[in-house]
């Protein structure tokens, strides 16, 4: 394993600093604006900072039952979809990475297909089928539609992770007496672990924010957070509603990232994302 | 106490035969080197013994028991890989302890055995280190300790020093040889470096195209190569191709009476067995270069037909570039179709006769 440590001695890395600042501006400024709006009661042009801060819109948002219900549905959906996706995709990814079977390449590419065509057309077609199966506006209907969207991510990233595991490490484990299952559990999975964890995290977060499928299949009974947010914005143009919901929507991302840092450490986590 | 017997081992992949009818007997405590160029099948043989490749046919016996159908985890073999293959998510202690934990040994015994193994490879107290904090040589020692701690009957080493620099390689091969002799462990060692084989092995098996060319002690392999391939692969060797006519190997520069039938043949002479004598006129070989190694001088000469030879001469005589020299072989081997057909020493008088012969032929 190669570790690179940023040098604390020697010349200062000005280019790196410039990139850091640029990235910080591009990423942080929009977030900051939204964050500010969420705690604003009055903010009129041309003032740079709001005239009146306050939690009025938080009270209004959080007192609504549909917000809490949507949050609960979103969390349950994301957890279910991620778990199912991992259950289906991880063994498949291992098979793709390590086994040779007829039609392997074609089958592998087919996972890309769901992302290769305009998604909305596909969704409409699936919606028509779900209508006949009475899956429209049900929890499991939304689970199914969101599952399709996660397959590619959950196959391709773990396949790369499994392929990157040195075969000699696995052979060395067999050599000292570990059976195939033990090798997978003690060597392959820990080696591929950070990358797979990153894939699971990405799947959870992207499912949480998925809108099209959830809206088309779930509406009107199953309303996720992003769908609710669209409703809010469509019905009354009050920026604060959107901002408050947006800040609430950050929460799962933050929790996931914090959890990731605690569990596997920043270095391994960044490595999982290819850094 | 372990004896390894390989009988008519064969391994063919889709279109190629990697190992062809290979048999070998390794005695208890012996260190045998499998030596050959890349693609000679040496690693495939080792991997079949370790259980990572299935033989197409043949048997592998350890102490009489056929293990050739057992998976690697059921074989009493320990393998050290070229790339060391340490588990980077475990520290040194856990790398070595992994096999012991699988055997459900008590914790105190695991600790004791791991410490012993680390002491054995000269890394006492390194248990808490992460594997990536170690140098290449240290990593390879940990890999060796990981195999040895399980006390395998057969130790398999697959080019373990290939990724190390020359200096480290020489030191480590001495250490490995020491450890191997101290433990008396039967060892099979794969390498493509002849120095390594000559320095470490009790016996060398030279492989080509999946077949055994010669299996003998290092000195015999060097002094009495049974095939032209072995002669050329181990150490430096001069080859001169010509015809045998009437019981004499005849070449414009050298003629030797040999006891073989007429026909094409290749004369092989080691640089240290090839003397040079000054000669005048156009006859003789042309000196291309002379390199002083202190203890001896290596002179490169070119024959009229373009063949280049190396001669090891005493530092007392200087050879200038472009000078003419007469070849004075002291010992030779003669090969026909890769097989040794004749060998012997050239007597002082015979040399003179032969060189007179040269003069007669060339003038």
Q: Rounded CA gap, A170 and A152, in Å?
A: 26
Question: Can you give the pLDDT at residue A240?
Answer: 78
For residues B91 and A181, the answer to whether their CB atoms sit within 8 Å is: no
Q: Rounded CA gap, B75 and B49, in Å?
A: 9
ipTM over 0.90: no
- Going residue by residue through chain B, which has 363 residues, state the pLDDT in tens, using 9 for 90 and above: 688 888 888 888 888 888 888 889 998 889 999 998 888 888 899 999 998 988 888 889 988 888 888 898 889 999 998 888 889 888 899 999 998 998 999 999 999 999 988 988 888 888 888 888 888 888 888 998 999 898 888 999 998 888 788 888 888 888 889 888 888 899 999 988 888 888 888 999 999 988 888 999 989 989 899 999 999 888 889 998 888 888 888 888 888 888 888 888 899 999 988 888 887 766 788 888 888 888 888 999 988 888 899 999 888 788 888 888 888 888 888 998 888 888 888 865 444 434 444 333 332
What is the β-pairing status of strands B331-336 and B263-269? antiparallel
Closest CB to B79 among A175, A187, A191: A175
**Best B85, B86, B142 residue to mutate vs chain A (most A CBs within 10 Å):** B85
Assigned CATH topology for domain A64-272 = MetI-like fold (1.10.3720)
Q: Minimal Cα–Cα distance from A169 to chain B, Å?
A: 5
Q: Rounded CA gap, A216 and A214, in Å?
A: 6
Taking contacts as CB-CB distances below 8 angstroms, the residues of chain A near B72 are 171, 174-175
Higher-pLDDT residue of A9, B105: B105
Q: pTM for this structure?
A: 0.73
- CA A77, A81, A84, A89: dihedral to nearest 10 degrees? -170
Tell me the CA end-to-end span of chain A in Å, nearest whole number.
Answer: 13
Q: Rounded CA gap, A247 and A251, in Å?
A: 7
For residues B239 and B232, the answer to whether their CB atoms sit within 8 Å is: yes
**Best A4, A170, A175, A182 residue to mutate vs chain B (most B CBs within 10 Å):** A175
Given a cut of 50, whether residue A7 has pLDDT beyond it is no
Supply the DSSP string of B65-97, one letter for each residue: EE-TTS-GGGSSEEEE-TT----TTSBHHHHHH
Question: Can you give the pLDDT at residue B357?
Answer: 41
B1 exposure class (CB count in 10 Å sphere: 0-12, 13-18, 19+): exposed
Per-domain residue ranges for chain A? 10-54, 64-272
Q: Rounded CA gap, B140 and B158, in Å?
A: 11
HEC string for A147-185: HHHHHHHHHHHHHHHHHHCCHHHHHHHHHCCCCHHHHHH
Q: Helices (H) and strands (E) in chain B — how many of each?
A: 9, 21
Cα three-residue angle B129-B134-B136, rounded to 5 degrees: 155
- CA B187, B64, A169, B201: dihedral to nearest 10 degrees? 10
Taking contacts as CB-CB distances below 8 angstroms, the residues of chain A near B77 are 175
Q: Rounded CA gap, B139 and B121, in Å?
A: 11
């Amino acid at each position: 394993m190669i570790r690179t440590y940023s040098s604390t001695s020697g010349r200062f890395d000005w280019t790196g600093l410039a990139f850091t600042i640029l990235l910080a501006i591009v990423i942080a400024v929009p977030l900051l604006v939204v964050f500010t709006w969420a705690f604003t009661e009055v903010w009129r042009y041309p003032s740079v900072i709001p005239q009146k801060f306050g939690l009025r819109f938080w009270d209004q948002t959080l007192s609504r039952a549909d917000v809490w219900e949507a949050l609960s549905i979103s969390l349950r959906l994301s957890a279910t979809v991620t778990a199912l996706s991992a259950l289906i995709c991880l063994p498949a990814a291992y098979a793709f990475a390590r086994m040779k079977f007829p039609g392997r390449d074609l089958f592998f590419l087919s996972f890309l297909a769901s992302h290769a065509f305009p998604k909305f057309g596909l969704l409409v077609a699936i919606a028509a089928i779900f209508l006949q199966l009475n899956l429209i506006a049900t929890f499991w209907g939304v689970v199914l539609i969101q599952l399709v969207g996660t397959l590619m991510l959950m196959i391709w990233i773990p396949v790369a992770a499994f392929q990157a595991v040195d075969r000699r490490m696995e052979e060395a484990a067999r050599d000292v007496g570990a059976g195939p299952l033990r090798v997978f559990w003690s060597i392959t999975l820990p080696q591929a672990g950070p990358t797979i964890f990153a894939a699971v995290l990405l799947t959870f977060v992207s499912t949480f924010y998925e809108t099209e499928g959830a809206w088309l299949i779930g509406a009107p009974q199953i309303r996720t957070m992003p769908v609710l947010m669209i409703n809010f914005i469509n019905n009354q143009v009050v920026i604060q509603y959107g901002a408050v919901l947006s800040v609430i929507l950050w929460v799962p991302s933050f929790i996931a990232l914090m959890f990731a840092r605690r569990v596997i450490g920043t270095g391994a986590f960044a490595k999982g994302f290819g850094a | 106490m372990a004896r390894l017997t390989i009988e008519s081992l064969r391994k063919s992949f889709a279109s190629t035969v990697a190992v062809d009818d290979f048999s070998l007997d390794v005695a208890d405590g012996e260190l045998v080197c499998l030596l050959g160029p890349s693609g000679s099948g040496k690693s495939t043989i080792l991997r079949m013994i370790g259980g990572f490749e299935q033989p197409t046919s043949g048997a592998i016996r350890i102490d009489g028991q056929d293990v050739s159908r057992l998976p690697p985890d059921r074989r009493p073999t320990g393998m050290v890989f070229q790339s060391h293959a340490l588990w980077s998510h475990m520290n040194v202690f856990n790398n070595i302890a992994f096999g012991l934990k699988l055997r459900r040994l008590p914790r105190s015994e695991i600790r004791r055995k791991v410490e012993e193994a680390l002491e054995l490879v000269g890394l006492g107290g390194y248990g808490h280190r992460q594997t990536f904090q170690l140098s290449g040589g240290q990593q390879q020692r940990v890999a060796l300790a990981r195999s040895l701690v399980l006390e395998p009957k057969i130790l398999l080493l697959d080019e373990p020093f290939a990724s190390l620099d020359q200096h480290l390689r020489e030191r480590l091969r001495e250490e490995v040889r020491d450890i191997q002799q101290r433990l008396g462990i039967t060892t099979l060692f794969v390498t493509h470096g002849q120095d390594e084989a000559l320095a470490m092995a009790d016996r060398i098996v030279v492989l080509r195209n999946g077949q055994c060319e010669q299996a003998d002690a290092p000195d015999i392999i060097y002094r009495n190569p049974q095939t032209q391939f072995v002669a050329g692969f181990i150490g430096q060797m001069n080859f001169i191709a010509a015809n045998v006519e009437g019981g004499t190997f005849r070449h414009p520069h050298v003629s030797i009476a040999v006891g073989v039938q007429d026909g094409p043949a290749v004369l092989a002479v080691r640089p240290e067995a090839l003397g040079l004598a000054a000669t005048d006129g156009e006859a003789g070989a042309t000196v291309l270069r002379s390199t002083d190694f202190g203890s001896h001088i290596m002179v490169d000469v070119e024959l009229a037909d373009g063949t280049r030879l190396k001669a090891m001469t005493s530092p007392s005589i200087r050879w200038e570039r472009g000078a003419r020299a007469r070849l004075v072989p002291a010992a030779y081997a003669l090969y026909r179709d890769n097989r040794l057909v004749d060998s012997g020493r050239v007597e002082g008088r015979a040399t003179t006769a032969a060189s007179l012969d040269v003069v007669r032929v060339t003038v």
